[in-house]
Amino acid sequence: MTQIAAIIGGGVIGGGWAARFALSGWNVTIFDPDPEAARKIDAVMANARRSLPALSDVALPPEGQVKIVPTLAEAVANADWIQESAPERLEMKHRILNEIQTHCRKDALIGSSTSGFKPSELQQGALRPEQIFVAHPFNPVYLLPLIELVGDDQTTARAHAILTEIGMKPLKVRKEIDAHIADRFLEAVWREALWLVKDGIATTQEIDDAIRYGFGLRWGQMGLFETYRVAGGEAGMAHFIAQFGPCLQWPWTKLMDVPELTDELVHTIASQSDAQSGSHSIRELERIRDDNLVSMMRSLKGRNWGAGALLNEHDARLCAGHEPDFTKPFISVDRSIPVDWSDYNGHMNESRYGQVWSDAADAVMRMIGADADYIAAGLSYFTVDTHTKFMNECHVGEHITVETQILEGAGKKLQLFHEMKNASGALVASCTQLLIHVSLETRKSCDPGPQIVTKLAAIMAAQAALSQNEAI
């Protein structure tokens, strides 16, 4: 039997909850008096349908039904999970929660998306206080997995199981406190950022750059304490605190109320940090950290965003101004194999060979003048055929080069032959690749521009003495 989630408040957070549940196979009922609610929910659902399935390598459950209903009572009547996502006004939440409990099942879970209120505050005057708990998400709810759970142990245990089932990361807060855990960090950083702007120390962009090009990348995959444990080197967290702990008493920030670093507190933090890291040595943690950072930043490269845009700019500088010798097979790719290209066999996945050939063809296109400006003007080349032969394995960190020869470059056709070699010069794989010149407007083949014809003729003349590799 399909489970039902009721969403009270269909804004950014409520809409995100609706999408997460629906794309996890739940039916969803939504109550929101906003006349624009349907349009807003549709927009959130469209984004979620595009994004959430991309996180999985297997099919998601069939999407549940999403229905906007006219009354709160109708929304919650048969719900298994009820998520209140109203504005952060305690009196409003009390009124809504009271109405929810009047009409919902006694065994329904009632979570609140509140960023700051404690469960004891939300439960004031409630019919069944233990039924109400904090389930604080992060935007976008359909992608970011963390949910902070605060409330009755039995109730939050049930919530924990459901959230885990739909792919989220529930974090049980041990004791209730204003703003829970994550928002207390965000509040501290936000407060300091406002001071930096007010005092003329940095602009908002400079502050954002400090985060997205620096510690934000480390925090995104290793958190706070494990990052600092690695920074402590082989001596670990205790050494880090000994080195940098006194700085907390210096007037660096506007946040000067810090705990005294007693031996007991240092021991507690250090022992918890050691336990958190499990059996990994500091060297292993450094390798894990580096591999994670490479994968994260390479992902950002694909979107040309933040640190990824910076890497793309650096790549462009590194390869600028290198005109190859066309009288012999020329280097079209020269790089190391990243960690995210490996598979369960411990070597480069076969799909990534296609990436290498694609990168090689892109390099050839730039060499003959079919560069970004040419493509922006509406002309390009499409690959229509490739044949690959595999000779040797290729592993993470291994350096490769691709030597390319142009077999044909007349009219609409561009036929290439690639040989991938490792650092010792051994042949790893080869590929014949046929590209056709196209109009991006008509999406049909057409003759290339005169500058391309001229450049290709010159390269073909330079390569005329080379032996012709036959297509597979």
Residues 42 and 29 in one domain: yes
Report how far apart, in Å, the C-alpha atoms of 411 and of each of 238, 262, 448, 452 are: 69, 78, 7, 10
Residues 90 and 115 in one domain: yes
Residue type (1 letter), 127: L
Give the strand pairing for 444-445 and 427-439. Answer: antiparallel
Write down the pLDDT at residue 323: 80
Residues 365 and 400 in one domain: yes
Residues 175 and 198 in one domain: no
Q: Write down the H helix ranges in 6-152.
A: 12-22, 37-51, 72-76, 90-103, 119-122
Mean pLDDT of 17-34: 96
What domain count does the chain have? 3
- Segment 135-154, tens digit of pLDDT: 999 999 999 899 999 999 99
Residues 112 and 221 in one domain: no
In a domain, 222, yes or no: yes
Residues 264 and 371 in one domain: no
In a domain, 312, yes or no: no
Residues 161 and 63 in one domain: yes
Residues 172 and 199 in one domain: no
Choose one of 180, 208, 227: the last residue of a domain: 180
Q: How confident is the model at residue 181 (pLDDT cuts 50, 70, 90)?
A: very high
Write down the pLDDT at residue 249: 66
Is 64's pLDDT higher than 90? Answer: yes
Choose one of 141, 162, 180: the last residue of a domain: 180
Mean pLDDT of 388-396: 95
Is 125's pLDDT higher than 90? Answer: yes
Residues of the domain holding 212: 183-287
Residue type (1 letter), 355: Q
Is 472's pLDDT higher than 50? Answer: no
CA dist 311 and 235 (Å) reads 33
Report how far apart, in Å, the C-alpha atoms of 230 and of each of 224, 242, 286 are: 10, 14, 7
Residues 245 and 349 in one domain: no
- Segment 207-234, tens digit of pLDDT: 899 999 999 988 888 888 888 888 888 8
Residues 159 and 196 in one domain: no
Choose one of 237, 272, 287: the last residue of a domain: 287
Residues 280 and 385 in one domain: no
Residues 333 and 386 in one domain: yes
In a domain, 472, yes or no: no
User: What is the average pLDDT value for the chain, to the nearest integer?
Assistant: 90
What is the pTM for the complete model shown?
Answer: 0.78
Q: For residue 358, what is the domain's CATH number?
A: 3.10.129.10
Residue 175 structure tokens: 């004791």
- The DSSP code for 11 is S
Please report the sign of the dihedral spanned by the C-alpha atoms of residue 1, residue 6, residue 116, residue 225: positive
